[in-house]
Amino acid sequence: MNIWWIRRDLRLTDNPALTAAIREGSGVIPVFILDDHLLKFPAKNRKSFLFSGLQNLDSDLRRLGSGLVIRRGDPFIELRRLVEETHAHSIFAEADVSPYAMRRDSAIAKQLNLHLVHGLGIHPTEAVKKADGNPYTVFTPYKNAWMALPLSDHILSAPSALPPLPEIQSEPIPDFQVLQYFPAGEKEAHKRLTNFLTGPVFDYEQSRNEMAVAGTSSLSPYLRFGMLSARQAIVAARKKSGSNQLIDSMHGTETWISELIWREFYQSILYHFPHVLSTAFNPSFRDIQWRDSSQDLQAWKAGMTGYPVVDAGMRQLTATGWMHNRSRMITASFLVKHLLINWQEGERWFMEMLLDGDPAANNGGWQWTAGTGTDAAPYFRVFNPILQGKKFDPQGKYVRKWVPELANVPTKFIHTPWEMTDSDQQACGVTIGKDYPNPIVDHNFARQRVLAAYAKK
């Protein structure tokens, strides 16, 4: 009898840890531990998604004759108890790369028979390295090395039956709110993958940037909790790309696969440079004089900056726990460059709000935006929220959806509502400065300010 310790691999198909636990023993006990150290972090939406995913996994396991054991407390203490209670031989778990997880797991491995199994990404973190043994810190060469490694398309199948659980204590799954836009679970993940690969991926290069279009896979929360493995995603995409004659679909799938490789790149960065969670990766950007304005930070969080695309993104985030990738870049750039507020404030807020909130990817994204990271956007690249809106939400559909007070603003003014005359405003039923804020900072002024601040550091 072995324990399958579930952490962020809430799936039965293509699960190396589960497969190993089954193969190495005469039975398996699926366990999830509610770890207060992780659960005290204010991330209501993500916890709902997790708990809903656990409920889903539990019913999938029951269908196979087993079930999910839930415990609450310190992982080491709970696992030790479980081993005593069940006489389990070994514990199998998917290896993780966050500093907390690595510290936790190596401490537990000293006391208990814990086997960490690779499964978070396609290639183990240690496998993608430069010839001299050092980790890559630039994406393109990392990607090239990653692509050069053999990729098995073998998907581990889900068990068809499991032995019943022993009579042991299990906590109920905590209450959670149902997430309208992101139902949890493996089945939903597969539905989205199939849907994406039979439609949107064909036009991915174009439509992935259009914020009002469902042109992205929207799989990030599922990948975050392992309701879908990276291998399942990539193998399915590769099949699509190989089987289709349309050159566009080939480009689309390759571009999407590239996005999946970014996830592993940032996992590798976090693994090798855990200090990125507390400071800039690039030391020359550690002394920027950030502004300290709780008022501006609050306006950003609330989606009340006066720049419609920025506000639409921020409101989509609070309303759904997810934000379109293009809006993530725009809103992040706005916080760092326009408001000159420390990117770590944004990183924390995104971690509170995002269903897919993951320390590696989130930190990587923020450091990229701030220009402080590996292979980052150059600091002088300042997104113009008006131009970004015109380019990637030309009809203002995205803005109208998430900033309803601007719903009737003519397209001509949808990204610059403050340019409307009083009678324009009256005609579309919104008073700028009252129903919707004026811009909290002038674009040209902010641009000059941030360039000066970065140049000085």
Give the footprint of DNA on this chain (CB under 7 A). 139, 259, 262, 325-326, 329, 377-378, 380-384, 387-388, 391, 443-444, 447, 451, 455
Closer by beta carbon to DNA, 48 or else 305: 305
Instruction: Specify whether the backbone of 161 is left (phi greater than 0), alpha (psi in -120 to 50) or beta.
Output: beta
Whole-number minimum distance, CB 273 to DNA, in Å? 18
Tell me 155's DSSP state.
Answer: P
> Is residue 262 among the annotated active site residues?
yes
Annotated catalytic residue, options 4, 146, 343, 349: 343
Q: Which residues contact 20 (CB under 8 A, 6 or more apart)?
A: 92, 115, 117
> Is residue 4 among the annotated active site residues?
no
> Is residue 126 among the annotated active site residues?
no
Whole-number minimum distance, CB 290 to DNA, in Å? 18
The total number of residues written for the chain in this structure = 457
> Is residue 444 among the annotated active site residues?
no
Alpha-carbon separation of residue 347 from 82, 361, 373 (angstroms): 36, 10, 13
Annotated catalytic residue, options 113, 259, 282, 418: 259
Annotated catalytic residue, options 113, 262, 384, 418: 262
Whole-number minimum distance, CB 386 to DNA, in Å? 8
> Is residue 146 among the annotated active site residues?
no
Closer by beta carbon to DNA, 122 or else 162: 122
Alpha-carbon separation of residue 133 from 127, 128, 130, 136, 247 (angstroms): 10, 9, 5, 9, 37
Closer by beta carbon to DNA, 81 or else 391: 391
Q: Which of 311, 291, 304, 293 is nearest to 386 (CA)?
A: 311
Closer by beta carbon to DNA, 165 or else 309: 309
Q: What is the DSSP string of 163-230?
A: PPPPS---PPPPP----SS---SHHHHHHHHHHHHHTGGGGHHHHTT-TTS--S---HHHHHTTSS-H
Whole-number minimum distance, CB 438 to DNA, in Å? 18
Annotated catalytic residue, options 113, 195, 244, 325: 325
Whole-number minimum distance, CB 257 to DNA, in Å? 12
In the structure encoding, which two tokens stand for residue 447, read together?
Answer: 């641009």
Tell me 335's DSSP state.
Answer: I
Annotated catalytic residue, options 290, 352, 384, 418: 290
Q: What is the dihedral of CA 264, 270, 272, 278, to 10 degrees?
A: 160
Closer by beta carbon to DNA, 2 or else 267: 267
> Is residue 264 among the annotated active site residues?
no
Q: Catalytic residue numbers?
A: 259, 262, 290, 325, 343, 366
